[in-house]
Amino acid sequence: MSIGGKDVDNMATINGMLWIAGAGAGIILLIVLLVFFVKRKKKSPDVFEDMEGHEFEYFCADLLADRGFTEVEVTKGSGDYGIDILAQKDGVTYAIQCKRYTAPVGVKAIQEAYAGRDYYDRMVGAVMTNQYFTTPAVEAAKKLKILLWDGGYIEGMLEEN
């Protein structure tokens, strides 16, 4: 069939083919994204899931040592004034509170790092966790000048090794 000198059947066929190609490209893109996220998930499983708190502290100490921290020391389990790791890097001394949690970390951990930093006479206080931080914890950390190293930060450190 011809309208105005153009073959309508051929145009419909071409439009249909373009639509199918576009839909196919979209499906392929979706599959590629799904494969990427599944592989990423498998690549970085929650290695902390079966760790107890003290095991997580030693894991963090080893990770810090691998990242150039020196004089890395895990404090004793009780009476540590909220600090689990003492370390140094580039002349800066750190007091680090470790939290292996199944939920976001709250303000209490920030308070412990703040108090422990002063108790151990360290320059920097930090909280290191496999999780993330609540909004009040982030606000407290900003006010008290405590570093927050969350699960994403730890994952980045692991990928760098």
Same structural domain, 70 and 139: yes
110-138: average pLDDT: 96
Tell me how many domains the chain contains. Answer: 2
Residue 65 falls within a domain, yes or no? Answer: yes
Q: What are phi and psi of 125, to 5 degrees?
A: -110, 145
Tens digits of residue pLDDT in 25-74: 556 655 655 554 444 443 344 666 778 878 999 999 999 999 999 999 99
Which residues, including other chains, have CB under 8 Å from residue 12's CB and lie 6 or more apart? Answer: none
Same structural domain, 91 and 146: yes
Residue 48 falls within a domain, yes or no? Answer: no
Gap between the Cα atoms of 59 and 77, Å rounded: 15
pTM: 0.69
Same structural domain, 106 and 155: yes
| Domain enclosing residue 38, as ranges | 2-43
Gap between the Cα atoms of 116 and 109, Å rounded: 10
- The DSSP secondary-structure symbol of 129 reads E
Same structural domain, 87 and 138: yes
Predicted local distance difference test score (pLDDT) of residue 146:
98
Same structural domain, 17 and 83: no
Same structural domain, 37 and 8: yes
Lookup: tokens for 85 = 């790791």
Same structural domain, 114 and 135: yes
Same structural domain, 37 and 69: no
Distances in Å between the Cα of 118 and the Cα atoms of 40, 76, 144 are 39, 17, 12
Kindly report the average pLDDT of the chain as a whole number. 81
Tens digits of residue pLDDT in 74-91: 998 666 678 999 999 999
Predicted local distance difference test score (pLDDT) of residue 93:
98
Same structural domain, 35 and 79: no
Tokens 């303000």 map to which residue? 107
Residues 22, 25, 31, 33, CA torsion sign: negative
Q: What is the CATH number of the domain that holds 104?
A: 3.40.1350.10
Same structural domain, 37 and 76: no
Same structural domain, 136 and 66: yes
Residue 33, amino acid = L
Same structural domain, 70 and 22: no
